[in-house]
Amino acid sequence: MESPTGVAATPRALPYYVAFSQLLGLTAVATTGAWLGLYRGGIAWEGALQFNVHPLCMVIGLIFLQGDALLVYRVFRNETKRTTKVLHGLLHVFAFIIALVGLVAVFDYHRKKGYADLYSLHSWCGILTFVLYFVQGQVQ
């Protein structure tokens, strides 16, 4: 849907949807952080709290930042295509790196404790999700 000037028209409700999605994403990050801080003892890279890095990184990377990366083309529709592509790519790269930190944290924690890796449906679904996320980024 183009306006007479050739610039794509922005749906009227879009800013409200974007604001709601940001509020929802930040709420998910804050809730995860509060849960880890109040009920799981916090986060740390060393010791028993290292495992807690995993859920926080996954929520930040694969929910919040990935969601923002997907919204870039809708929110910045009047910017140049190059600008939106760079921002879209950077958000995906940051999401990938943060999710990778979460994976490293859980594997390192399991190695230090002598636990088996990939022993549950959750872990296999998580690895599949991460691999598919990486592969789809390579295909684009």
Span 59-88, pLDDT tens digits = 999 999 999 999 998 899 889 999 999 999
Average pLDDT score over residue span 81-108: 95
| pLDDT band at residue 30 using 50, 70 and 90 as cut-offs | very high
Q: What is the pTM of this model?
A: 0.86
Q: What does the pLDDT read at residue 138? A: 67
Tell me, which fold does domain 15-138 have in CATH? Four Helix Bundle (Hemerythrin (Met), subunit A) (1.20.120)
Summarised one tens digit per residue, pLDDT across range 47-63 is 889 999 999 999 999 99
SS3 label, residue 9:
coil
Round the average pLDDT of the chain to a whole number and report it.
90
- Say what the pLDDT of residue 98 is: 97
- 69 close to 88: Cβ distance less than 8 angstroms: yes
**In the beta sheet, which residues pair with residue 2?**
8
pLDDT of residue 4: 59
- The answer to whether the CB of 75 falls within 8 A of the CB of 18 is yes
Higher-scoring residue by pLDDT: 23, 138: 23
For the record, the structure tokens of 91 come out as 């958000």
* pLDDT of the residue at 140: 60
Residue 110 pLDDT > 70, yes or no? yes
Query: Burial, 78: exposed, middle or buried (Cβ in 10 Å; 0-12, 13-18, 19+)?
Result: exposed
102 within 8 A of 57, measured Cβ to Cβ: yes
Domain ranges of the chain: 15-138
Instruction: Give the pLDDT of residue 5.
Output: 58
